[in-house]
Chain A
Amino acid sequence: MPETHADYRLSQLDQLEAESIHIFREVAAELEKPVLMFSGGKDSIVMLRLAEKAFYPAKIPFPVLQVDTGYDFPEVLSCRDSWVDRLGVRLIVASVEQAIADGVVVDDGKTSRNRLQIGTLLNAIESEGFTAAFGGGRRDEEKARAKERVYSHRDEFGQWDPKMQRPELWSLYNGRLHEGEHMRIFPISNWTELDIWDYIGREGIEIPSIYYSHQRRVFLRDGMLLSESDFNPTRGGETVEERTVRFRTVGDLTLTGCVESTASTIPEIIAEVAMSTVTERGATRGDDRFSEAAMEDRKKEGYF
């Protein structure tokens, strides 16, 4: 938080915050019906915090949308509710279960919940008529994200065309849309994983408890430690044991692995992240590991 600045310098974290606040205000002013996509993960919590700051003391002028995979960690849902209550924002839950029941998406037993989220999300955006959806994507996460614009234009099918992106110059964002199209907005594009943690530490804000070290019954699958759960029956040869772990990302619990860790405070997590030799997605996200271009393919279809 800037106090006095004899030399008028702004730390990089303050610069990132200022840029994100600018983006939130720009969208709220220019786009008719925005919504904030909230996963309950650390990135979307930082987004919510930035939105809170952008409009304070007024309430955040748009609702929050969560895609409920049915396989969410209970700790994440309770953190979500705590944020939504405190800020007094409207929460819309788009359920994958419901989308399957309504025939919006098809569960063939082979497709991951993460992939079924795409159809569920697009359906929710379309049925509510949202013209802008804030997402917590960061460009440092993955190669396909590195070319994403802050304002990412989606056609009437919700698709992203990496070759047709609008040039984005200075801080002059172009939010023009045609009927049926929408924008994905990435206000924390320029933040890195470490920035997110530094900010959470600095702001002292609540995040789901599973980010901190805890005891959990886990088993090893495809090199990842997965949580024991009714949604996730063990297969032959997999044995469940209790370990001291924490999660680096949160998502569909059948696909999101944890890492062994004793980091139980933000400074300890920061130290761990800074020393880590593996990207957060590479370590713990089954959905990004299927092919080198996995993320690019899902993005084109309309993934966050």
Chain B
Amino acid sequence: MSTASQESTGESTATNMDLLRFATAGSVDDGKSTLIGRLLLDSKSIFSDQMEAVEATSASKGYDYTDLALLTDGLRSEREQGITIDVAYRYFATPQRKFIIADTPGHVQYTRNMVTGASTSDLGLVLVDARQGLTEQSRRHAVILSLLRVPHLVLAVNKMDLVDFDQATYQRIHDEFTQFATKLNIPDLEVIPISALQGDNVVNRSENMSWYSGPTLMHHLENVHVASDRDLIDARFPVQYVVRPKSDAHHDYRGFGGQVAGGVLKPGDEVVVLPSGMTSTIEGIDLFDKEVPEAFPPMSVTVRLTDDVDVSRGDMIARVNNAPKPSQDIDAMVCWMTTAPLKPRQKLAIKHTTRTGRALVKDIQYRLDVNTLHRDQETKELGVNEIGRVQLRTTVPLLADPYSKNRTTGSFILIDEATGVTVGAGMINSGT
């Protein structure tokens, strides 16, 4: 029985710890739930009452071993079907880092969940079964992670115990995947042979694979460098909320609340407010009752300007000589997420940073086959879970950057105006 502990010395280290968000992809057969269960268990993040519940369920089902997958299969309908039907978030921490796992189901009809999980992730973890090698599904997962610009990718070659920890099997999968990855945007790739069931190379180094000299999965997760993934050059501050106390103590206070989406903002910076183009200077940056010397992603702050310029929600504060060009013509990759297909001439609501408007589909240029990367230009619509290149015309100018430069100012969602449901996710192409 394991116990939960964070190397406690009476003071938690959480105050200084950093954060890694990662998405996992793979099907039930690849052992994804077992791997997550293993990460939680071996990092001592499982509580005894949770473990007892899982042991009891495993025993009542007549299993020979404790099914770690039960630790994460949350909803009753999933337990009944034995599959994961929605994105689930899991948490664990080691002394170095806190981890948030977006656990996404792998089967074909749930591309939208994978896109959702990947959208906020620093790292993508794709699982393959060493006996099967790369499948259409593992390629699809890599393509989606690459489209979503998840900067780090790990291919975990699982079930090495079932191929006698054979180095040649690992090497074949490694080479095939590395070859495939050259066609994608994957800045950082690691291929790790593991056995989630037995724990080899998950947290503890495997004694069965002395031929492997790379990091264990946990070591890699703890040490992969994510701080440099943000854009600290191009200052982008989407205005979220105008703070006006209208109180005696703060009679003239007028600040602009928002979360820094790019670059570094400092008092004294000359800035431009978009889309109006008015210029001003940053007077001060407040975080609650303190002034801060600078603000950078992903800080939520309140910015005050020296001039009484007209600024409201949906505007963006950027640097005078480095600002996005407002545009109503948007060229983007769109992942479609609802049953009724997306068609040209369709009108939708669009939300981009803090700005909301309407969008008209001018053209669907091609549909991307996420298994082969083939561009299908014949079909002029996108079905559910399909991804394609789409041209939109918006009612309001968007203050956007290419998604490849900034995942916050380069992304948007599409909303069905009748149902209010989020039906599409868009990533803006460069050259819009």
Contact = CB atoms under 8 A, between A and B. Distances in A.
A57 B250 contact: yes
A279 B40 CA distance: 14
Contact of B14 (A25, A194, A267): A194
B11 interface: yes
| Range for the number of chain A residues in contact with chain B | 35 or more
A192 B93 contact: yes
A54 B47 contact: no
Interface string A147-189: 1000000000000001101111111101011100000000001
A56 interface: yes
Interface string B10-28: 1110111111000000000
Interface stretch (B156-164, B270-278, B288-296): B288-296
A7 B112 contact: no
Interface in B403-432: 407-408, 411-413, 415, 420-422, 425
Interface in B285-344: 286-290, 292-294, 296, 298-300, 302, 313, 337
A194 B12 contact: yes
A162 B422 CA distance: 15
Nearest to B75: A162
B174 interface: no
B89 A282 contact: no
Given A146-B90, A268-B10, A190 B100 contact: yes
B103 to A, nearest CB: 8
B91 A140 contact: yes
Nearest to B245: A58
Nearest to A58: B245
Interface stretch (A16-24, A107-115, A242-250, A254-262): A16-24
Interface string A1-30: 111110111111111111101100110110
Interface stretch (B80-88, B139-147, B201-209): B80-88
B420 A167 contact: no
A131 to B, nearest CB: 12
Nearest to B352: A172
Contacts of B6: 194, 274
A278 B1 CA distance: 12
A268 B11 CA distance: 8
Contacts of A71: none
Contacts of B230: 8
**Highest count of chain B CB atoms <10 Å: which of A16, A59, A146, A168:** A146
Interface stretch (B114-122, B179-187, B361-369): B114-122
B53 A271 contact: no
A296 B75 CA distance: 7
B243 A9 contact: no
A270 interface: yes
Contacts of A7: 227
Interface stretch (A72-80, A91-99, A195-203): A195-203
A278 B47 contact: yes
B47 A282 contact: yes
Given A167-B422, A174-B351, A13 B408 contact: no
B243 A169 contact: no
Interface string B90-103: 11010001101000
Contact of A279 (B47, B120, B240, B421): B47
Interface string B102-141: 0000000000110110011000000000000000000000
A206 to B, nearest CB: 17
A169 B411 contact: yes
A59 B245 CA distance: 7
A198 B14 contact: yes
Contact of A167 (B75, B116, B411): B116
Interface string B190-232: 0000000000000000000000000000000000000100101
A192 B91 contact: yes
Contact of B49 (A176, A194, A279): A279
A13 B15 contact: yes
Contacts of B245: 57-59
A222 interface: no
A10 B299 contact: yes
Contacts of A10: 18, 296, 298-299
A139 B413 contact: no
Contacts of A17: 300
A279 B46 CA distance: 9
A240 interface: no
B48 A172 contact: no
A288 B415 CA distance: 36
Nearest to B118: A169
Contacts of B421: 166, 174, 176
A278 B5 CA distance: 11
Interface string A125-151: 000000000000001100110110000
Contacts of A18: 259, 298-300
A170 B14 contact: no
A28 B241 contact: yes
Contact of B18 (A12, A58, A177): A12
B259 A171 contact: yes
A292 B53 contact: yes
B243 A55 contact: yes
A298 B93 CA distance: 29
Interface in B328-384: 337, 349, 351-354
Given A16-B19, A172-B351, A275-B8, 16 more contacts: A11-B14, A11-B15, A55-B243, A56-B243, A146-B90, A147-B89, A166-B421, A169-B116, A169-B422, A174-B415, A192-B93, A194-B12, A276-B4, A282-B47, A292-B57, A296-B74
25 contacts: A2-B292, A3-B293, A10-B18, A11-B15, A12-B98, A22-B300, A59-B245, A147-B86, A167-B113, A167-B116, A167-B337, A168-B116, A168-B422, A169-B115, A169-B120, A169-B425, A174-B422, A176-B421, A189-B89, A195-B14, A278-B48, A279-B47, A282-B49, A282-B50, A293-B76
Q: Which 9 A-B pairs have the closest CB atoms?
A: A176-B420, A282-B49, A143-B74, A274-B8, A12-B19, A21-B300, A58-B245, A18-B300, A25-B241
Interface of B: 1, 3-6, 8-12, 14-19, 47-50, 53, 57, 72-77, 85-91, 93, 97-98, 100, 112-113, 115-116, 119-120, 227, 230, 232, 240-241, 243-247, 249-250, 253, 257-259, 264, 286-290, 292-294, 296, 298-300, 302, 313, 337, 349, 351-354, 407-408, 411-413, 415, 420-422, 425
Interface of A: 1-5, 7-19, 21-22, 25-26, 28-29, 52-59, 139-140, 143-144, 146-147, 162-163, 165-172, 174, 176-178, 189-190, 192, 194-195, 197-198, 202, 267-268, 270-271, 274-279, 282-283, 292-293, 296
